[in-house]
Chains A and B, each alone.
Chain A
């Protein structure tokens, strides 16, 4: 266990302008993508969704929701997870539903009392680990995986555990130098969440970080970029990639292998909440119900590639560890804890 002495204010420079939980944010919401799905019938109301999930992924689900609710237009706004958090927590923008894969930030919104309680037949069906109170509900469980290129491994055995991974990295430093990809936790909220949860699961994360640090890893802010670079041959392997993105994209690629490590594989819960100040909380709740209902689950699995909440699937794969929706998630959002973690991470990764 690493108990680390941290000097106050030591790592201010490491934050790189990521205003986290407590950071003030003067700028307005930076939108990556915004699309209006017009109502199929005469428009009655508009549902505003703020999401970290690409429009292309949830588009079919939105269309099906509108087929069921002809009078509802949907304004679907995509932004980064920090932007999404800030839009709700700092700016109080009146969105009707907030969808994010950043469990920790969603948890903080709910814990700070900014989410409205939603209770329905659909939310009652969720297992205990897939919701927090009745304010935060998970609708997809996504594994965090290792992707490798067979060509790049050149005959080496596929690693099944972190121990395997550390061994082949140690044994073949020249092959892997500059060809390992992973998230930069300083810049990516998802990367930070995966890294911190890794440290909770096992000390092997730090050993892996040490080994990786000696091999000049490439740091990314999105899973898509890592997948692309693996396909083009720039990377041999990428650690902590979202399985829901890697799976569909690499399914047709005979060279790429998606590996859920057997010692443990983090499982991310994609969550939704209805903000307290929503203009149409009823529509937000209705869309959540649709996501959790049988039709929404089937569409997500088949069209969006997001595995819906399925307790049976978890029971069959004991190495899958869903991250718990509990106040523990707040710990790594603490500014001191974050600074401490990032400085430790930077020190480990830049050791040589």
Chain B
């Protein structure tokens, strides 16, 4: 079983969300790191300044190292935050004053040289951890240089408080930017996929028989798809066109030999004197006639199916169309002494439709009426407007419907149960019904009052 492909939109949104999340985390970490470093640099600066201020008060002398511990140096350390402060002054490696157990920078290393800038290091001290700044100086005691080291230490609770505050802000910033990016991702996913949706809508909106190439404006990424689609449409159109040609060819190839056979049979009938031969020839002519009609109807039906898939709609005036078809049936009607009465064709009645199809439907309707009408009866062909509809009614005095409706009789190759000796393929009403459907119209069959059938063929007016 093939796994359902993940929705493009979902896939895009998930990936954009992932990118947004990664960027938000990077943002958070960057802000934190930078802020931590800035806070530490600030505190180191103050600590270093205090250490240097103390170192500057170192004085040599005859007896020992002197120191006037500056009040401000310590006071300033408390100004940024209330942190604990420790200090230690060593002269010649021996503690001079302060906290004797404060760790020296060289514990485990060498002596730091006299330096202008303080050295910073972090060490555990007593119950806490401290940041220590150490600076070395050389002081002359009794003309002998004595190395002195000043160490000032400070706890970093203030910095930790700042770091915690910054972390909160950074987290809020990260979450905020993620939310913003997520919202934008949704919009982006929508806008990126909109051309695809629009293309799908445009193709979907087409009628079932619209086989034009897709020329909808599409982004370059969709061109291969549209190109393939158009290639497919072109092949389909070609196949349909070949089918149409085939049907026309087939009809032609069947009808032409049939016409030849009929002509020869009629000549033979005229020349023949033998009654049994003449009888046989008449049967041949009737059969050929019927075959010819069936071939015609098959052709008609195929045409209807083909054309109703790709309806070429144009304004059609029904009045001359009806007159023309009626005129075409006049010779056949005369043979049976049928009166073909046409009414309502004085004024034009315009519908939107496919002229060959409408003509084919009308011809089949009349053909049916003529075929099933007893001799010396009348067929009423009426054109009328009824509301927004053009209604063509064909009423005959034939053998009626014997209870079957238009729906059943319109089934393909279905003939009425009372068709009896009348020849027919059963395709005629199917054609009529399909043409009506293709034009958005309606085809109904009713029993006529006083015997016979009334066929109603209605189409929306243009």
Contacts and interface: CB of A to CB of B under 8 A. Distances in A.
Given A7-B62, A133-B157, A334 B82 contact: no
A337 B87 CA distance: 13
Contacts of B66: 4-8, 336, 340
A132 interface: yes
A328 B85 CA distance: 9
A177 interface: no
A340 B66 CA distance: 9
Contacts of A133: 82, 84, 157
A6 B67 contact: yes
Given A6-B66, A132-B82, A335-B97, A113 B74 contact: no
B98 interface: yes
Contact of A6 (B68, B77, B127): B68
Contacts of B78: 132, 324, 326-328
B42 interface: no
B82 A200 contact: no
A336 B97 contact: yes
17 contacts: A4-B66, A7-B61, A7-B66, A8-B66, A111-B86, A113-B128, A324-B75, A326-B74, A326-B75, A326-B78, A326-B79, A328-B78, A330-B74, A334-B97, A337-B67, A337-B69, A340-B66
A146 B336 CA distance: 151
A253 interface: no
B459 to A, nearest CB: 90
B77 A331 contact: no
Contacts of B75: 324, 326-328
Interface in B407-433: none
Contacts of A328: 71-72, 74-75, 78
B59 interface: yes
Given A132-B82, A200-B71, 15 more contacts: A4-B66, A8-B66, A111-B85, A113-B84, A113-B127, A133-B84, A133-B157, A324-B78, A326-B79, A327-B75, A327-B78, A331-B70, A331-B73, A331-B74, A337-B69
B64 A8 contact: yes
A336 B96 contact: yes
A3 interface: yes
B383 interface: no
Nearest to A327: B85
Nearest to B50: A327
Nearest to B76: A328
Interface in B13-60: 57, 59
A154 interface: no
Contacts of A324: 75, 78
Given A133-B82, A326-B78, A336 B70 contact: no
B132 interface: no
B54 to A, nearest CB: 10
A5 B64 CA distance: 10
B65 interface: yes
Interface in B167-192: none
A341 to B, nearest CB: 9
A8 B67 CA distance: 9
A112 B125 CA distance: 10
A8 B85 contact: no
A17 interface: no
Interface of A: 3-10, 110-113, 132-133, 200, 324, 326-328, 330-332, 334-337, 340
- Counting from the closest, the 7 A-B pairs by CB-CB distance are A8-B64, A326-B78, A328-B75, A327-B85, A7-B63, A327-B74, A133-B82
A330 B97 contact: no
A324 B72 CA distance: 12
Interface in B288-304: none
Nearest to B70: A331
A321 to B, nearest CB: 14
B62 A3 contact: no
Nearest to A330: B74
Contacts of A336: 66-67, 69, 89, 96-97
A158 to B, nearest CB: 32
A338 to B, nearest CB: 10
B156 to A, nearest CB: 13
B299 to A, nearest CB: 102
Contacts of B157: 133
Contact of A327 (B67, B84, B98): B84
A8 B69 contact: no
Contact of A5 (B61, B82, B128): B61
A330 B85 contact: yes
Contact of B57 (A3, A110, A113, A327): A3
Contacts of B273: none
Contact of B64 (A3, A7, A332): A7
Contacts of B68: 3-4, 6, 337, 340
B87 to A, nearest CB: 8
B126 interface: yes
Contacts of B59: 5
A320 B306 CA distance: 109
A3 B74 CA distance: 17
Nearest to A9: B64
A307 to B, nearest CB: 24
